[in-house]
Amino acid sequence: MREREREMASLNDVSTKGKVINCNAAVVWGPGKPFVIEEIQVEPPQNMEVRVKILYTSICHTDLNAWKGENESQQAFPRVLGHEAAGIIESVGEGVLDMKEGDHVVPIFNGECGDCVYCTSEKTNLCEKFRVNPMKSVMFNDGKTRFSTLDRKPIYHFLNTSTFSEYTVLDSGCVVKIDSKASLKKMSLLSCCISTGLGAVWNTANVQGGSTLAIFGLGAVGLAVAEGARSRGASRIIGVDINPEKFIKGRAMGITDFINPKDLEIYVHEKIWEMTEGGVDYSFECAGNLDVLREAFLSTHDGWGLTVILGIHPSPRMLPLHPMELFDGRRLTGTVFGDFKGKSQLPNLALQCMNGASISRLVNLDEFITHELPFSKINEAFKLLTNGESLRCLLHL
């Protein structure tokens, strides 16, 4: 079925509002165990919550970390993972005024309540209630789950979102309404990789035209950084990855030079110093590896270099830096969701993406969806990401 028809036909004729819905979800029962597509129960949304029919979802490396359970303290099973998605509101709970049944939405793992001391500050996109929290596995309202097995055992939530399910319940602060004319397929990318990568360049680093930069890790997040840098008129974009296949896509996204650390006999940062007379202006760590982070840090120019950490580091190890190294003038910061305030700023980003001409020259969203599969093939989609074959594999629910 064509995308538009699927969206129109997606909601049931008979209202399910206020009722428990039985539907299929991909449940993980333990670290690294295959996803089991099984029937689960999804409760109606409570106060300030919404229930969303997910139409498209894809897999980000952060799902991979949680699935492997690399950080033991964050494990919670059985669980519904997934955070990059798009769908349609099935019903809203009491008090939700900004969304209604039938609205097109994308979930955001880093929510925005709009009222707290963080949300009312221009200095951060973290929210007191709904900021990204890998330890959280239950709903904010009552500390319970809205998912359960058919024999009523709880199934845990993930990253404020849990999109590997035909229906999911989210806090309304973690859902953004977007224009119904936008392609939901493409909009799903805004719910993580594209916003994170573009925002890291536009908001966190505020890269200026003519700058040089290096991107470590050329998955969807790293390539979204490349798109952001190209759109800002960066003069040189160096891509670093141990998988040379990524260079093919990278070239299309404006990366000018490539380094495969495996081909070098010197450190990557030494190579970058050679190529740029002392280092790049900015570096972006998108691999989630501490050794890579050190290389990214040293690859910037002393005096003014800025490194932005995007990668999620499941290792309990601390930063691989000596404090005195900061006296060389290199700075380091992290970014969650590219410093976008999701509820306030995503609708506009979505509009820009829709208005083809202007922004599609800036961001080639189509290039990021390298594979599409039915939801039932989620294990295959995970393999594609683990093997470095896909950027985003879009699952159709």
For the chain, what is the total number of helices (H) and then of strands (E)?
A: 12, 17
Closest to 283 in 3D by CA, of 236, 321, 251: 236
18 in the Ramachandran plot: left (φ > 0), alpha (ψ -120 to 50) or beta? left
Q: Respond yes or no: is residue 61 known to be catalytic.
A: yes
Among 51, 131, 230, 232, the one annotated catalytic: 131
Is the Cβ of residue 129 or residue 392 nearer to ligand NAD in the bound state? 392
Q: Respond yes or no: is residue 193 known to be catalytic.
A: no
Query: Using the rule CB under 5 A, which residue among 21, 26, 48, 60 binds Zn ion?
Result: 60
Is the Cβ of residue 33 or residue 68 nearer to ligand NAD in the bound state? 68
Among 57, 62, 212, 335, the one annotated catalytic: 62
Q: Respond yes or no: is residue 116 known to be catalytic.
A: yes
Q: Respond yes or no: is residue 286 known to be catalytic.
A: no
Structure tokens at 140: 């904010």
Q: Tell me which residue has tokens 């030079």.
A: 257
Gap between the Cα atoms of 40 and 204, Å rounded:
40
Closest to 221 in 3D by CA, of 285, 283, 273, 176: 285
Which of Zn ion, ligand NAD, none does residue 116 bind (CB under 5 to 8 Å by kind)? Zn ion
Gap between the Cα atoms of 329 and 268, Å rounded:
20
Is the Cβ of residue 53 or residue 83 nearer to ligand NAD in the bound state? 83
What is the three-class DSSP state of 22? strand
- Cβ atoms of 391 and 219 within 8 Å: the answer is yes
- Max CA distance (Å), the chain: 66
Q: Respond yes or no: is residue 23 known to be catalytic.
A: no
Residues that bind ligand NAD (CB under 6 A): 60-62, 65, 192-193, 196, 216-222, 240-243, 246, 261, 286-289, 292, 310-312, 335-337, 385, 388
Is the Cβ of residue 21 or residue 310 nearer to ligand NAD in the bound state? 310
Q: Which residues, including other chains, have CB under 8 Å from residue 301's CB and lie 6 or more apart?
A: 276, 278, 279, 280, 281, 330
Is the Cβ of residue 21 or residue 296 nearer to ligand NAD in the bound state? 296
Among 127, 174, 286, 393, the one annotated catalytic: 127
Minimum CB separation from Zn ion for residue 131, in Å? 8
Establish if 220 lies at the interface with Zn ion (CB under 5 A): no
Among 3, 23, 101, 116, the one annotated catalytic: 116
**HEC secondary structure over 35-57:** CEEEEEEECCCCCCEEEEEEEEE
Q: Respond yes or no: is residue 113 known to be catalytic.
A: yes
Establish if 86 lies at the interface with Zn ion (CB under 5 A): no
Which of ligand NAD, Zn ion, none does residue 119 bind (CB under 5 to 8 Å by kind)? Zn ion
* Residue 109 Cα to chain centre, angstroms: 8
Among 57, 60, 232, 300, the one annotated catalytic: 60
Residue with CB nearest ligand NAD? 219
- Using the contact rule CB under 5 A, the part of the chain among 11-19, 60-68, 245-253, 303-311 near Zn ion is 60-68
Is the Cβ of residue 88 or residue 221 nearer to ligand NAD in the bound state? 221
Gap between the Cα atoms of 305 and 342, Å rounded:
28
Q: Respond yes or no: is residue 84 known to be catalytic.
A: yes
Q: Which residues bind Zn ion (CB under 5 A)?
A: 60, 62, 113, 116, 119, 127-128, 192
- Give the residue numbers annotated as catalytic, written as ranges: 60-62, 83-84, 113, 116, 119, 127, 131, 192, 392
